[in-house]
Amino acid sequence: MFPEKFLWGGAVAANQCEGVYQEDGKGLSIQDVLPHGIKGARTAKPTPDNMKLIGIDFYHRYKEDIRLFAEMGFQVFRLSIAWSRIFPKGDEKEPNEKGLRFYDDVFDECHKYGIEPLVTISHYETPLYLAEHYNGWLSRELVGFYERYVRTIFTRYKDKVKYWLTFNEINSILESPFMSGGISTPKEELTEAQLYQAVHHELVASALAVKIGHEINPEFKIGCMILGMPVYPLTPDPQDVIRAMEEDRKNDMFTDIHVRGKYPGYMKRYLKERGITVHFEDGDAQLLKNTVDFISFSYYVSVCATADTSKNRRGEGNLLGGVPNPTLRASEWGWQIDPMGLRYILNRLWDKYQKPLFVVENGLGAVDRPVETEDGTMTVEDDYRIAYMRDHLLQLEEALADGVDVMGYTSWGCIDLVSASTAELKKRYGFIYVDRNDDGSGTLKRMKKKSFYWYKDVIASNGKSLHA
């Protein structure tokens, strides 16, 4: 049973849907020079093959899109603010009023339908200038620029937004330092010490945001956001169990610090054994004690770990990846599908922290084929997406029955958008199809898929229709 107060909705990120990448005062973000996602090289300037420059034109069509979300019954809509719309370069003293106005309008539109915005402050869209001139989060100065940015948006939207997430998938910086942390130094040249220093800067900034947010509006609920990916031992060999524990802890470190306000013992050991000293400025240890109100995470895949080097190959997955699980099948993009892993990670996080949890991303990226219905309208018969989501939501319900406190669920890419890892449009997640293709063709017209009506029923029945 889903509790009455359970929040149902969907999620997007500014850089993957807004488009309009350099109008109304917006500066470039790191996404504007990543035409092929994390797989491809970064370009010197935005190039026409970069699908994110137009996205799905949410910037102009948000009213129509939010109306469709409302029709599905959304109670919450997760979106991000593009930092470079508010501070085009990132280090200015004054914000860009036109950027602020845009989000005022978007939030007003949500409230018109009783939809609560859930806002990611930084979702893989660091201003490019900060990447090029400061080397992103490697620089301590980013903490100050982020502080100015959060003060600005917290103050401006204090009566319009209640739920905030400080950094999208904060742990992904370990794997994707440029996309996640705006760090321009190529990954192969970065030392682990530098990487963990950048991590520290983000963690301090995140804690600072919690502190400032609660000062500005004590009603704010501010969460961390983690790339959730349970790690199973590949075999019952105790060595594999320990390897899995160590891999899990690379991610746990982020929740531990966000929730407990200090570096865990295993992390101190990890850093010490590698001769890494993370530099703490005066006051950092105190700042970290500003812990989050809830934990949010994305969930798409689980992975395995093994101590056997001959089996230690890496499969496809959501940025971090791991050894493929021989018992699971995978999506068209090779991401292994594991609905029970959602119940497992929810229980694991709840057992560890006893903090409310929010599943803010989950879904199936698939190729959709529009077909004509009897009445001549177009739709997509996406039964595969419905099956994926039903299986995951039933496991979420199991976790609720286990006693886990889950605040809500926002499916990823509730309207088709540009993929983060591959920058493709053909990898679709939405309940709403957007007519735009990777060659740039398409009318941008929206149409409802079969899953649109399915999700509408799920929300209207508060999950009961999952059992029909």
Per DSSP, 280 falls in state: P
| For ligand BGP, the closer CB: 106 or 287 | 106
- Kindly tell me the burial class for residue 18, based on how many C-beta atoms sit within 10 Å of its own C-beta (0-12, 13-18, 19 or more): buried
**Cα atoms in the 13 Å half-sphere on the side-chain side of 52:** 26
Instruction: Tell the smallest beta-carbon distance from residue 364 to ligand BGP (Å).
Output: 10
Residue 366 gets which letter from DSSP? B
Question: Smallest distance, Å, CB 319 to ligand BGP?
Answer: 5
Active site annotation includes 361? yes
Residue 245 CB neighbour total at 10 angstroms? 14
* Least distance between ligand BGP and beta carbon 411 (Å): 11
- Compute the C-alpha angle 124/171/40, nearest 5°: 50
Query: Which residue in the list 202, 247, 361, 397 is annotated as catalytic?
Result: 361
Closest contact distance (angstroms) between CB of 377 and ligand BGP is: 28
Query: d(Cα 154, Cα 319) in Å, to the nearest integer?
Result: 30
Judged by CB, which is closer to ligand BGP: 400, or 418? 418
Shortest gap between Cβ of 13 and ligand BGP (angstroms)?
5
Calculate ∠ Cα 75-254-8, nearest 5°.
Answer: 10
CB of 8 to ligand BGP, least distance (A): 19
Q: Which residues of the shown chain bind ligand BGP in the complex (CB under 6 A)?
A: 13, 168-169, 298, 318-319, 361, 365, 412, 419-422, 427
Residue 304 identity: C
Q: Which residues of 391-406 are buried (b: 16+ CB within 10 A; e: fewer)?
A: bbbbbbbbbbeeebeb
Amino acid letter, 9: G
Distance from C-alpha of 320 to C-alpha of 312, rounded to nearest angstrom: 14
- DSSP reduced 3-state for 237: coil
With a CB cutoff of 8 Å and minimum separation 6, the contacts of 58 are 12, 17, 18, 19, 65, 415, 417
Please list the active-site residues.
361
